[in-house]
Structure 1
């Protein structure tokens, strides 16, 4: 098992709700077309990287959720400037635009994406940080590179679980990336992402797990009814408050959903 890719037990057949049918499928087809167009547009703009104004990136991220029929509720906020390690649990492809709605960041991705047609070269040109999870010798250099980005004032986004989970279960935050925040002496911003239905019950429809395909996951999201994404931006952990990366990873891992009755800012509906 790769250190960077822990094995999640979640699978589409065992954990994920089926896609909608009938009228939901017709609406889902329209939504899916719009979402794919927005994703393609975002990919084509990736080479512009940080030259795209942050408000435009946030607006694009919110529009993806809106086009997919997902209401987004955000609690809290992240600093808009300065080096910041943004960490979140990982459930879905939708998590990436949700983090961008909090604060646009340089994302960390698996090295295999670099080999993907079209998306690979474009993401590389956009400054995505790739991690080769099969080469532990490369780990110190990757951590040092992330620390340099943080020192320069960039925000870096990462999903430290190392794998997607269905949302009803979750993994443990891996510690290595937190060393970059310690070395750069920047805050760590924990974010908890949770998906619910309009009635308040948890939903696994957005999960992108196991051998699931991206298209199948997109279809489930766009055909779901009353899907709500809750993004709980928790208090940042200031630099120097914890002694090592193990303690920092443990403190940053959000394990509980937002408390009932808390005020949420609706970013997309």
Structure 2
């Protein structure tokens, strides 16, 4: 694991993003190279469905979208701060990712409209309805707009539950990024992704019931009462 292992796949992708060429397949290839460079050992349980247009996951770390995008090409919604990151920020704006300022209602509405348009146009998408990272002890409240849009479009979605026994894997922004990266570089990090059965809007009487089903599917298993 090294900085070269992280930077090489990133810089190799930049010319294609700059040209607007195949943004989602390009990000998929980048994620597949970046994940092992970060020392993340991904284990996938269940059956990820590439024919399901929307994947929905809980959110523990900035690594989550890298892990899931390594499984298939797709777009997503990301925090607006990413566009300000050195070097990669400029190209990220050209990649087809939808950026949002969670504290700005206008920005949230615009990102949601672009997200729904992508689904209508047949693009595969990834959604983190919590909208922020947690330490995995419990789900954060959902931003429900993306799930409601998929329900109104009648599109099935598949829940993906992420977990890691490594205490350093969750990154909530309370620590700076570089120390977090150094820990990743020096420690093998197991990450498990459980693909739950897809959920179809036709199986639910209303969007509230549909959203509750995602909360149940994504809830950390340690939180269940037996």
TM-score of the superposed pair, with normalisation by structure 1? 0.71
The 5 A counterparts of 1:2-13 are: none
Indicate the structure whose relative CO is greater, using CA pairs within 8 Å and at least 6 residues apart. 1
Asked if residue 61 in structure 1 is aligned to residue 31 in structure 2, the reply is: yes
Structure 2 counterpart of 1:127, from 96, 116, 119? 96
- Residue 125 of structure 2 aligns with which residue? 156
Paired residues in the alignment total: 220
Contact 1:143 1:179 in 2 (8 A): no
CA RMSD of aligned residues (A): 2.7
Contact 2:138 2:220 in 1 (8 A): no
Rounded Cα–Cα distance in structure 2 between residues aligned with 1:116 and 1:31: 20
Per-residue CA shift, 1:158-206, capped at 9, x if unaligned? 21112111234442332121122022221111111111xxxxxx22212
Per-residue CA shift, 1:20-54, capped at 9, x if unaligned? xxxxxxxxxx4343123334434554345662684
Decide whether aligned partners of structure 1 residues 243 and 123 sit closer, same or farther in structure 2, where only a CA change above 3 A counts.
farther
Contact 1:86 1:158 in 2 (8 A): yes
Rounded Cα–Cα distance in structure 1 between residues aligned with 2:23 and 2:107: 30
The 5 A counterparts of 1:196-215 are: 202-215=165-178
Aligned to 2:76, what secondary structure does the other structure show? strand
User: Unpaired segments of 5 or more residues in structure 1?
Assistant: 1-29, 196-201, 259-269
- Residue 167 of structure 1 aligns with which residue? 136
Contact 2:78 2:97 in 1 (8 A): yes
Decide whether aligned partners of structure 1 residues 216 and 39 sit closer, same or farther in structure 2, where only a CA change above 3 A counts.
farther
Asked which structure has the greater CA Rg, the reply is 1
User: Unpaired segments of 5 or more residues in structure 2?
Assistant: none
Aligned to 1:102, what secondary structure does the other structure show? coil
Rounded Cα–Cα distance in structure 2 between residues aligned with 1:45 and 1:224: 32
